[in-house]
Amino acid sequence: MLFRRKSVDPPAVTHISVPAAASDFDRALDTVASLIKRYGEYAFDVEGREASQIREDCERWAAQLIGGGDGEAEGGVPKRDFGGLRRFFEEHRRTESAFVKTSLSALRSTIDTFARCVRTTVVDDRTADAAARGQLTELSEALSSNDIARIRTTATNLATTVSASIEKRHERHKAQIEALAEQLRNIRGELLQARERATMDALTRLYNRAAFDEHVTRISDLGLLLGTPPSLLMVDVDHFKRLNDNYGHPTGDEALRRVSECLLRTFLRKEDFVARYGGEEFAVVLMDASLADSRSMAERLRKAVRAMAIEHRGSSFNMTISIGVASLVPGESAASWIERADKALYAAKNDGRDRVEVSELPSTFV
């Protein structure tokens, strides 16, 4: 009896249960907030929203859960918009689901198109080869017979067969490239997107050299399918060693960061790829931009950097850049493309710096 009365004594129950419940609630909030943050860390681009925006939203919701919002409800309990959080996740998951389904459908369609192209090529080539072999056998027999009329007729038939085969193959290749190009346009965002993690330069927060090498190789491999040839800009800060010697490395680092900001402000499109190539050199890959447009954008960047003032111990100084531009020739290797842009860059530097030079087409493609 004494034990039973003690177990139902109200003060004892209140003393034990309330702190435990409050502690469990806090732990639950911390866990949910941690899950939200982790969800944001592994976000990916979806239609209409970039991964960085989704991460920021998740950070805000996590902070709102932990902090309790901007006000207090009755009884001093912090306001937390659990309904809003639930709606945010429901809507975002629907968006993710639709994006993944669409992307997978586009990828499957691209693979189907590629497989169809390969199958058609193999079948048509077998047919053409069989016809050509038959004509060659007949020509060989005609030559053995020394029948001039038969030789002439057989040779003419062989030439007609081979010519028709070449023309048909050319038309087929053209149609296949157009079909693959159309599929590529549907999934280009996924194919051309550089991996964000472990590909950023620590100083400038641009893509690093490794990411650039991977990206430019991928673009050159896809050159035949891209429609408007992409352009490569190689950008170099003029007299950077002198800048470091005169103002010190910290100021030189600040100058590189400021140039990086100019690059990002100039090339705003999602498909524009901006990287730190090394040291004081940068690289930009432009998609769907003619050579004239690429040169115009390079000039805009050059003028923006020239107008920029760098502060140093109560005074300021200006800097300039030189730029080389090269448009990718379909079938050209990444190494050749980079080399031509680099040669244009050094032509700009040799001609006085603070200028833009455009590469000529390689002789093998003229």
Ranges 71-75, 182-186, 189-193, 251-255: which has the least confidence: 71-75
Please give the Cα distance from 64 to 287 (Å, whole number): 40
- Closest to 358 measured CA to CA, from 299, 272, 277, 305: 299
- Whether the pLDDT of residue 194 is over 60: the answer is no
Domain at 209-365: CATH code: 3.30.70.270
Report the distance separating Cα 132 and Cα 137, nearest Å.
Answer: 9
pLDDT tens track for 225-281: 777 899 999 999 999 999 999 999 999 999 999 999 999 999 998 889 999 999 999
CB atoms within 10 A of CB 171: 10
Phi, psi for residue 325 in degrees, rounded to 5: -120, 135
Proportion of the chain in helix, strand, coil states, percent, rounded to 5: 65, 10, 20
Give per-residue pLDDT as tens, 318-342: 999 999 999 999 888 999 999 999 9
At position 52, the amino acid (one-letter code) is S
pLDDT tens digits, 141-165: 877 777 788 778 887 887 787 777 7
User: Which of the four pLDDT bands, split at 50, 70 and 90, describes residue 306?
Assistant: very high
Place of tokens 């040839």: 229
Q: What contacts 318, CB < 8 A, 6 or more positions away?
A: 306, 307, 308, 309, 310
Contact 275, 234 (CB under 8 A): no
Average pLDDT of the residues in 41-58: 84
The better pLDDT of the pair 28, 179 is held by: 28
User: Which whole number is the average pLDDT over 33-62?
Assistant: 86
Q: Would you state the structure tokens that stand for residue 46, as one six-digit string?
A: 């979806």
